[in-house]
Amino acid sequence: MDRRAFILGAAASVAAPIALSAQTGASRPARSQFALTVLNPDCMVGGAGQCCVLRMPSGKVYLFDTGNGDCKGEKTKNNGKDIIAPWLRARGITKIDGLVISHYHADHFGGFLWLKDHFEIGRVFNNNYTPPSLETLNVHDVLEYKVPRQALDDWGKAHPGCLVENIKFGDDLGWSEEGVSVEVVWPPREGPVKPIENRKGYTASDNHFHHLLNGNSTALRITANGKVFFIVGDIQADYVAEYMRPYLLKKGLWGGDFLVLPSHGTKPNETAATLADMIPAPRAVVASLGNLPWMIGAGKSAVKIYTEMGIAAYSTNIHGDVTVSADDGRLSITTDVEQRYVHDPR
């Protein structure tokens, strides 16, 4: 049996008692349904990449992050041009009604650098968190702040009133509609979280700028047809345990039937430990990971660990694009295993 088919079959089989169905093929839910698609990102040297497409019953389309793009302008590849735009156009989608940039990392905002000039976008939302001590950063980190900041400023000037900044817990994006509720649940309303010092299991390259951006990245919670879809954001496992989990537990918002895993699904053992008291408990999860060797290993590890927990588990670099919708009390998940992008650093 093909390895990809085996993993998918195992995930579907453990989920059968909780009324979850899975299939491969084109991700085309009924027009009247809400659907969330996690696109399979391509890599730009380092970042794992993330782009989630939210298709509403009304036909409106929103993006949460835009995948990889190059801050230095040295590479021709861009997930907005090469992945997101073809995917949207293949489904007859010509306008992005709204777009969230969760934080200033190139594997999350990069596609916007192309999309902003080639696609009609209704409104752009950004929490605009910037870690302190910007002047001490290396060249790459400075670019990861300055490039999206300049792109957002330019787009905002060209589209007055359409750039919404400083979003945080409880803010209304205006995306909710009949049968679908969309909530911003992170970063905290009270202000950004503080750095965790002496972090175990993280390398020196994961500096304050990096993990504070991740720890304060935007997260969304969507409720549709009685199911909760939780895009947890790029927050890393120790920040989930220290900050996000207790904060959302107190507010009764720690849970989701379907999770887009935090920090791309990396460190699954540590993250899984924080899910035990989720309500609702996760029925299915997806890791958003590109195709570099370490990412392939991380995807296999995430699928294995969550499947062993009895959770249907997917990784974009194993299963391709992953689409989930809810209908009649079931989560319906479709994967596009044929849409697997080979790493090409051009």
Which ranges constitute the DSSP H helices of 189-328?
208-215, 237-239, 245-250, 268-273, 293-308, 316-319
**Could you give the 3-state DSSP secondary structure of residue 323?**
strand
Contact 269, 296 (CB under 8 A): no
Whole-number pLDDT of residue 330: 86
Structure tokens belonging to residue 335: 């994967």
Largest CA distance in the chain: 55
Whole-number pLDDT of residue 51: 97
Burial (CB count <10 Å: 0-12, 13-18, 19+), residue 92: exposed
Whole-number pLDDT of residue 74: 62
Structure tokens belonging to residue 225: 């047809």
* Residue 16 pLDDT > 70: no
The H-or-E segment that residue 8 falls in is helix 3-15
Contact 217, 102 (CB under 8 A): yes
Whole-number pLDDT of residue 137: 65
pLDDT grade, residue 124 (50/70/90)? very high
| Adjacent-strand bridge partners of 20 | 331
**Rounded Cα–Cα distance for residues 302 and 309 (Å):** 11
pLDDT grade, residue 32 (50/70/90)? low
For residue 133, CA distances in Å to 59, 212, 213 come to 43, 12, 13
For residue 156, CA distances in Å to 15, 80, 161 come to 44, 19, 7
Whole-number pLDDT of residue 99: 98
Phi, psi of 35 (to 5 degrees): -140, 140
Whole-number pLDDT of residue 6: 28
The model's pLDDT over 162-193, given as tens digits with 9 standing for 90+, comes to 999 999 999 999 999 999 999 999 999 999 99
**Could you give the 3-state DSSP secondary structure of residue 307?**
helix
Whole-number pLDDT of residue 115: 96
Higher pLDDT, 28 or 112: 112
